[in-house]
Amino acid sequence: MIAIFKREFKSYFHTVIGQLVVSYITLMLFLFFMVDNIASMSASMTYTITGAALFAITLGLPILCMRSFSEERHNKTDQLILTAPVTVGQIVMGKFLALLAIFAIPCAFTCVLPVLMSFFGDVSLLSSYSAILGFFLYGAMVIAICMFISAITESQIISVVISIVVILIGYWLSSLYDNISNSYIKAFFKNTYDFRTRLSNVASGTFDITSVIYFVSVAALFLFLCVQVIQKRRYAFSRKNFSVGAYSGVMIIVMIGVVVFANLISAQIPESYRKIDVTSSGIYSISKESKDVAAGITDDITIYLMAQKDSDYSNYQDATAIIKALNLYCAQNSKIKLEYVDPTVNPQFATKYQDTSTSSSSSSSDPSFSVIVTDTTNNRYKYIAYSDMIVSTVDYSTYQSTVSAFDIEGQITSALQYVTLNSDELLKAYTVTGHNEASLDESFSAILSKYNLSSASLDLSTNTAVPDDCDLLIINQPTVDFTADDAGKVTDYLDKGGKILINTIFNTQATMTNFDTILSYYGVKEDAGLVVETEQNMHLATQQYPGLYLYPSLGSDDITSGISDTAGGHVLYPFAQALTYDSKATGYTYTPLLQSSAKAYLKKDYTQGVDQTSDDPTGQYTIALKVEKTLTSGTSTAIIYTSANAFTSDVNTAVNGTNLKLFGNTLNSLADLDVKMVTIPSKSVTSSLTISAQNSRLILSVGMALVLVILVSGIVTWCIRKKQ
C-alpha cells in the first residue's frame, strides 16, 4: 500500500494536475478569506470555509480524482495493478491516501490564516481550526465518492460531471427537504444525504460529533463500494465470479445499512453531548449559572418558539443559536418543555403575550423567532422579542446590518426567573433625575429587566418623598448639586433602611455641597482629583490618557466574586476618584470593592497633564466602596462607584463583558430577594479585525504570489517531463 501511495502521489505532480488543483483550492480559500475576513474585518472563518467548500471542493476534487481509476481502465493499464501482489483494499487505500495528502496541502496553507488574523485582532483559534478540520473531513468524504465514480466509468469527463452533480445535489438538496410533509421521510433524507448541513455544523462555531461520524462513515462506505467494484472486475474471468458477486452484494447491503443506521442513531444523541461549543464567548452553550437556574425550577414551564419545526436553519447563525439554547435549557430539567408555533400558520398566537410591561423592549410586529416563556403553574409569562436576543449593528456607510452579539442566554435565564417569582417578590428601582444626571447606558439599563427590577424615573422636586415601593434608588453621575430638600428626601429614605446605588463623576464646574451630604450619611467623602495608576499591569496602555484607565484590584465580596474568571479577567475603570472614610467608625461596615495599587497617585490638577507633582500624594486608593450603616432597626446599604465611563458599552466591550457582570453583581447584592438572581451578559458573535489598507494589499500580494508559484512550478515540471 505504501508503494502505491508513493507512486500515486508522485504521478500527480509529474503532470500539471496536482499543482493545478492545489493552486485552485488554495486560490478559492484565499479569495474567500480576503472577502469574508480581511475586507469584512471579521475574525470568523465560517463563511470562508463554507464558501470555499462549495467552489473549491465541488470542482477541484472531481478533477483531481478523475484519473484515479478511469484513466487506467481506459488505457488498459489497470490489469497491471490488479495482478500485483496486494489486496484490492490496499490498492484503494493507497490511492485514497495519496489524494488525501494532496488535498491536505491547501488545507495546511489555510491553517496559517487564523494565526495571521491573530496579529490584527482577537481570534478564536479553536473555532477556526475546528472549521478547517470540518473542511478537511468534508473533502475526504468527497474524495471517496469521486474515487467510486471514477471506478465505474472509463471516461474521465463523465467521472468529473457525475461527481460534480452528486456533490451539488448533496450540498443543495437540504433546502428542499423542508417541503417533505412526512417527518420520518424528511429525517431519513436529512440524516443520509445532506452535505451542507453537516459542513455548517462544524464550521459555524460548534464541533458536531454527528457531522464527523457522517463524513467518516460515508467516506468508508464509498471506499468499500469502490473495493467491491474493482474486486468484481478482478474476478471477471474467474469461475469464482458468481460466488464473489453474491458475497459482494450481501456485504454492500450490510455496509449501507450499517452506515445509515449509525447516522440515524447518532442524530438521536442529546444535543448537549453531540455538539461542542468552540466559540470563545460560548455562543452555542449556556453557563453553569443558567443550568443551575433551569435545574432548580419546580414549576411546569412551557417555552414557545415562534418558528416552523424541523425546518433547515443551519445557514442562519442567529436561528441556530436560539434553537440550541432552548434545547439546552430543556435538557437541564424535565419540567421545561419546548413547543414550536409556526408564525405563518398562527400569526395571532404571540399577540396575547406581547405585553411591553413584561418584555425588555417593545414588541416587534413580526414575531418570528421570538420566545415566550410561560409558567403553567402560576400562569405568569414573559415575551422575549427576537430583537432582544439578537444584537445588531448598522454600518452607516453601507446601511447594512450585521449581528454583533447574542443575548439569548441572558434573556431566557431572566425570563425563567421572572415567571417563577411570585408577584409580591418583584422589585422596583427608581432612578433620580433633575440634577443633570446621565442616563444609564442601554446595555446596563437592560440588565435591570434581567434582574426583574421594574424601573422608573424619580424627580425629587415634584415628589414629597421617595415612594414607599422603592426597593432601590439609583443616582448616576449628577453634575448639578441637589437642593437641601432633595438631599433630605434621599436621607429620609435611607433612614428607613433604603438601598442606594451611586455613581459619581469628576466635576470641576460645580460645588456639590448638598450631594456630598448623601455620601457623608455613610461617612464617606470624595477626594478632589483623579487617580493615576503607575503599576504597569494595572492600567490600560494608552497614549492619550496614560494611567487613567485603571485595571483595579478586586475586593473580597459577592459583588466582585467570579470577575477574575470571566473572559476579560478584570474591570476597566476610567477616570476614577478616590473615596475616603474611617474604617474604624462605629455603626458602619466598609468593604472596598475596587482599589488602585500602592504606587498610584491622586492628580489634583490635571489641566497641565497627568505627570505627578509634589502636590499629588502617592498611595493605595479606594475607588469603589460598599457601605452598610447600622440603624435603630435594620441596616441601610450603599454601593458607591466613582467612574463616569465604567458602565458604558464601549468600556464593557473592551473587557469582554466584565464591567456588565460587576454591575449585575451589584444589583444582585442590593436586590433583597430570597433567591439570588442570575444575570448573563450578551455574548459577542465574533471579534473584529483592525487591518490597514497597506496590510490588506500586502496579504493579497503574498497570497496571490503563493498561488502563482504553485501553478507555475507545476507547468514547468510538466514541460520538462514532456521534453524528456
Q: How many CB atoms lie within 10 A of CB 143?
A: 28
Q: Hey, is 366 helix, strand or coil? A: coil
- Over residues 508-557, the pLDDT tens digits come to 667 899 999 999 999 999 988 899 999 988 888 776 778 899 999 999 99
**Residue corresponding to grid cell 486560490:** 27
CATH of 422-674, one of 1.10.150, 3.40.50, 3.30.300, 2.60.120: 3.40.50
For residues 228 and 247, what is the distance between their CA atoms, to the nearest angstrom?
10
Which residues, at least 6 apart from 361, have a Cβ–Cβ distance to it below 8 Å?
385, 387, 388, 446
Q: Can you tell me whether residue 620 is helix, strand or coil?
A: coil
Assigned fold of 288-406: Glutaredoxin (3.40.30)
How confident is the model at residue 313, as a pLDDT? 75
With a cut of 70, list the residues of the chain below it in pLDDT: 74-84, 175, 178, 183, 233-248, 272, 312, 314-315, 355-365, 393-402, 423-425, 450, 452, 508-509, 543, 564-569, 608, 672-677, 686, 722-724
The pLDDT score that the predictor gives to residue 84 is 64
pTM of the model: 0.68
Round to whole Å and give the CA distance between 641 and 572.
13
Q: Which three cell numbers stand for residue 53?
A: 467548500
Q: What pLDDT, on the 0 to 100 scale, is given for residue 394? A: 56
- Residue 535 CA to residue 691 CA, distance in Å, equals 30
Burial tier of 571 (Cβ tally within 10 Å: 0-12, 13-18, 19+): buried
pLDDT value for 509: 67
CA distance 3 to 559: 66
The SS3 assignment for 363 reads coil
| Contact by Cβ (8 Å): 660, 444 | yes
The ranges assigned to domains in the chain are 7-277+695-723, 288-406, 422-674
Give the helix ranges, DSSP H, for 111-155: 112-118, 125-151
Amino acid (1-letter code) at residue 683 = K
Residues 50 and 56: beta-carbon distance below 8 Å: no
What does DSSP say about strands 371-375 and 301-305: parallel, antiparallel, or unpaired? Answer: antiparallel
Question: What integer pLDDT is reported at residue 361 of this predicted model?
Answer: 45
User: What number of CA atoms fall less than 13 Å from residue 31's CA on the CB side?
Assistant: 12
pLDDT at 676: 63
| pLDDT tens sequence across 177-223 | 767 777 677 777 777 788 888 898 888 888 889 999 999 999 999 99
Cα end-to-end distance, the chain, whole Å: 29
